[in-house]
Copies of this chain bind each other. A is one copy, B any other.
Amino acid sequence: MSKPPILLMGHFYQPKLDELEKLYECHRLWAAADPEALFASLADRCQIVVTAGGRGIKADEMDRLPNLKLIASFGVGVDAIDLEHARKLGIAVSNTPDVLTEDVADMALALMLGTIRRIPQGDRFVRDGRWLAGGMPVTHSLQKRRVGIVGLGRIGRAIAKRCAAFNTEIGYFGPNRKSDTDYRYFSDIVQMGEWADVMIAACPGGPATFRVVSRAALEALGPDGVFVNIARGSVVDQEAMIELLAGGGLGAAGLDVFDDEPNVPQALIALDNVVLHPHQGSATYTTRAAMGQLVIDNVGAFVQGHELPTRVV
């Protein structure tokens, strides 16, 4: 029997990509000399697309594959996939939830601590020999601070659990109050900004959360406030954030995600009060392997006519 064809829209964890390529006839869109010709050659027989969270797949790309039945995405966020269009066309969508929760929460804490205690700045201070001329300035403490989490889903809860061990008070903003937690609920993100010392964005991306961390929310967080983003660049008003960070209206930021990655504005790179990270929330060996395995499992389930292990649509 011939191997089923798969169109790969974006790169993912190499060892698992290698496994996938052993099982299927894989076509790499990013390596195609003529992408249009590749779409055309697959149009009448390709039922499966594998993509990466940041790459997703657009409506017009789905339209060019009239036999498409499954979009298996590497990542938990499906905001780059046109879900409405997939639903309309009867295309199933799978993601890789749960397996990345703990590592992404670790990244949120790494960035929160690194931003407040200025870990990369301290590393530069030592490497540049500045310590020889005197001590590094004193910083703020995390102790007894209030942490406001935007989105108390799986990742938000894992972040909250960690924060609790650091003697912080925890609040959250989201569309609904959760009945199973005592963390302080805010239905208004600006009110949470006024209350919080640290705000951590942990919500899904997509239209529903576009710029939810508004200029007003960041202004409420204020000159000593710290903003951490491990969600998506789209959830914050990046332009306002940069302006406030540069002008002293917001204290500091730790960012794993950006608008238009991997393009990070020079105005952000120029700042000393930010810790920048290249979207590595889930980027550990174990988690990337588990995510890749889930992609393989979803594709395998589809091919064998079974229920998808982690279906979104």
Using CB atoms and an 8 Å cutoff, list the residues of chain A in contact with chain B. Answer: 13, 102-103, 106-107, 109-111, 113-114, 117-120, 122-127, 131-132, 135-136, 138-143, 161-162, 164-167, 261-264, 269, 275-280, 283-288
Contact = CB atoms under 8 A, between A and B. Distances in A.
Copies of this chain assembled into the complex: 2
B103 A284 contact: no
A113 B256 CA distance: 14
A284 B138 contact: yes
Nearest to A274: B123
A165 B164 contact: yes
A283 B135 CA distance: 10
A166 B165 CA distance: 9
A24 B139 CA distance: 28
Contacts of A117: 106-107, 110, 280, 284
Given A102-B166, A106-B142, A126-B278, 18 more contacts: A13-B138, A102-B141, A102-B143, A110-B113, A110-B114, A114-B119, A122-B276, A123-B277, A126-B264, A127-B269, A131-B261, A135-B262, A135-B279, A136-B278, A136-B280, A139-B284, A143-B287, A164-B165
A129 B124 CA distance: 17
A95 to B, nearest CB: 19
Contacts of A284: 117, 138-141, 143
B167 A277 contact: no
A259 to B, nearest CB: 14
Nearest to A162: B165
B107 A278 contact: no
A10 to B, nearest CB: 11
Contact of A166 (B106, B139, B286): B106
Contact of A283 (B106, B131, B138): B138
A119 B277 contact: yes
A123 B276 contact: yes
Contacts of A127: 269, 276
26 contacts: A107-B117, A109-B109, A109-B113, A110-B114, A110-B117, A110-B119, A111-B119, A113-B113, A114-B114, A114-B120, A119-B120, A122-B280, A123-B275, A126-B269, A126-B277, A131-B262, A131-B264, A132-B262, A135-B279, A136-B283, A138-B283, A139-B285, A141-B284, A143-B286, A162-B166, A165-B165
